[in-house]
Amino acid sequence: MEKFELHTPSFRGEIVIGEGAAAERLPALVKGQKNFVLTDSRVYALYPGFFAEYFGKDSLFVLPEGEKSKTFENLGKILRAMTEAGLHRTSRLFAVGGGVIGDIGGLAAALYMRGISCVQVPTTLLAQVDSGVGGKTAVDLAGVKNVVGAFFQPCEVVVDPMFLRTLSPREIKCGLGEMVKYAALDREIFRTLKENRDRLTDLSFLSSLILPCVQHKAKVVAADERETGERKSLNVGHTTGHAVELASGLSHGECVLWGMLLETQLAGKYGVTDSAYAAELCSLVRDALRAQPVSRLNFSALGGFAEKARSDKKNEEDGNICMAVAKSEGKWTLFSLPFAQYRAGMEAIIAKIGEQFPL
Ligand SMILES: NC(=O)c1ccc[n+]([C@@H]2O[C@H](COP(=O)([O-])OP(=O)(O)OC[C@H]3O[C@@H](n4cnc5c(N)ncnc54)[C@H](O)[C@@H]3O)[C@@H](O)[C@H]2O)c1
Ligand SMILES: [Zn+2]
């Protein structure tokens, strides 16, 4: 079990990682105050014994599973249920689930009485390596993802890989996408993944990388909680990844892999990414894309996905497309291109990939 603190200018939270973390930390965390537990229908159905054991008499709110539940309407319902449960300023919310539950639960905790204590118990690989840590909370509104939200740090994040055994291969693959993102930013993670290319679907191997991924994220968030500088690095592959996500049916993490492949090649062409390193990184990304279930994209059916990159939140007002890209091992930079050049560059890269399809 590993335990460390995440310090931001305004907050100090604990992160506990390891098999058995839930059994070790939850009995103490539920004691001494009124609790409110938020989860989704799938997690609740899979782990009835877990909820009975740790949250027996606490108020429980179960959302239908999936992104469609991350709405302003559901946020209102949760806040209403918290009020009806008679929660106080000293009460605590537990968000037990994937990124959807963590995001909406964290926002409810931020808003209720201007902020109550929140414990994140992430249950997907994506949430354990990424969304459960860092204090970004949000809901979707009017078709726009994460448009209403707040920065709100949980008092503790309990990361227990025990939950991962019930994930589908596609959800594991989704988490792998974010892990490869860390590889583009962190030398050690890059080397470990490269040396274990044949284990990219092996859950025990992936679980062993949760700690370094979370430590990397915690270090970045501690330096730049509000994403004015260093935290932008965590968007590697995400500008193009989001565009692909809007146009395809693949999971978020798989789209981040595609985004990394395309953006690294583009940045390589412009001399922004060192060419030998770009080749090495792309080779790892390709291995991850090929890992089961294979993340196939049919570009000709995607239509003008590059257009979708125009609406990305990370772009500035000058109309350029802004990307965070790896520069060399462990180094990154921001890379902007006027839209016409971005689109032309993407079209040329995709035409080449088309010849090698499926990778
Ligand atoms: N706050 C952040 O920094 C941040 C970062 C990345 C992503 N996100 C958000 O996270 C969300 C995506 O997260 P996600 O991929 O975890 O989605 P999710 O919460 O929808 O979970 C994916 C699916 O896995 C199921 N599930 C959860 N735990 C399970 C388990 N242990 N066993 C079996 N099934 C389980 C869920 O019921 C759901 O069907 C998006 O809304 C995204 O915007 C937030
Ligand atoms: Zn992501």
Average pLDDT over residues 304-328: 84
| pLDDT at residue number 103 | 98
CATH number of the domain at 350, please: 1.20.1090.10
Q: Which of 31, 57, 84, 114 does the annotation list as catalytic?
A: 114
Q: Which of 231, 232, 308, 343 does the annotation list as catalytic?
A: 231
- Using a 10 angstrom Cβ sphere, with 0-12 exposed, 13-18 middle and 19 or more buried, the burial of residue 318 is exposed
Q: Which of 14, 24, 188, 227 does the annotation list as catalytic?
A: 227
The residue from 136, 166, 196 where one domain ends is 166
Residues 276, 252, single domain; the answer is yes
Q: For the residues of 261-280, what is the DSSP string, one character each?
A: HHHHHHHHHTTSS-HHHHHH
Give this prediction's pTM. 0.96
| pLDDT at residue number 317 | 66
Least confident of 140-144, 166-170, 267-271, 328-332: 140-144
Domain count, the chain: 2
| 217 given a catalytic annotation | yes
Ligand 1 contact, 169 CB (< 6 A): no
Residues 140, 241, single domain; the answer is no
CATH number of the domain at 146, please: 3.40.50.1970
Average pLDDT over residues 33-50: 98
Average pLDDT over residues 222-229: 95
Residues 136, 175, single domain; the answer is no
Residues 246, 337, single domain; the answer is yes
Residues 33, 89: Cα–Cα separation, whole Å = 10
Q: Residue 248's pLDDT band (boundaries 50, 70, 90)?
A: confident
| pLDDT at residue number 79 | 98
Residues 154, 193, single domain; the answer is no
Ligand 1 contact, 237 CB (< 6 A): no
| pLDDT at residue number 308 | 84
| pLDDT at residue number 301 | 72
To test the pocket of ligand 1, the residue of 6, 47, 68, 103 to mutate (highest count of ligand atoms within 8 Å of its CB) is 103
Strands 144-151 and 136-141: antiparallel
- Reading phi first (left if > 0) and then psi (alpha if -120 to 50, else beta), residue 331 is in beta
Task: Give the other-Cβ count within 10 Å of 312's Cβ.
Answer: 18
- Using a 10 angstrom Cβ sphere, with 0-12 exposed, 13-18 middle and 19 or more buried, the burial of residue 196 is middle
Average pLDDT over residues 252-279: 97
The residues near 291 (Cβ < 8 Å, ≥ 6 apart) are 173, 176, 200, 201
Residues 79, 194, single domain; the answer is no
Residues 290, 159, single domain; the answer is no
256 pLDDT more than 70: yes
Residue 45, amino acid: A
Residues 224, 337, single domain; the answer is yes
The residues near 311 (Cβ < 8 Å, ≥ 6 apart) are none
Residues 229, 134, single domain; the answer is no
Give CA 341 to chain center in angstroms: 29
**Tens of pLDDT along 113-156?**
999 999 999 999 999 999 999 999 999 999 888 999 999 999 99
Residues 225, 236, single domain; the answer is yes
305 pLDDT more than 90: no
How large a percentage of the chain has pLDDT more than 90? 87
Residues 151, 241, single domain; the answer is no
The residues near 157 (Cβ < 8 Å, ≥ 6 apart) are 6, 13, 14, 15, 16, 119, 120, 121, 122, 132, 133, 214
The residue from 117, 143, 166 where one domain ends is 166
Residues 266, 156, single domain; the answer is no
177 pLDDT more than 70: yes
91 pLDDT more than 70: yes
Residue 81, amino acid: A
Q: Which range of residues forms the domain containing residue 114? A: 2-166
| pLDDT at residue number 225 | 95
Average pLDDT, the chain: 95
Q: Residue 15's pLDDT band (boundaries 50, 70, 90)?
A: very high
| pLDDT at residue number 122 | 98
| pLDDT at residue number 265 | 97
The residue from 106, 140, 166 where one domain ends is 166
C-alpha 171 to ligand 1 mean position (Å): 8
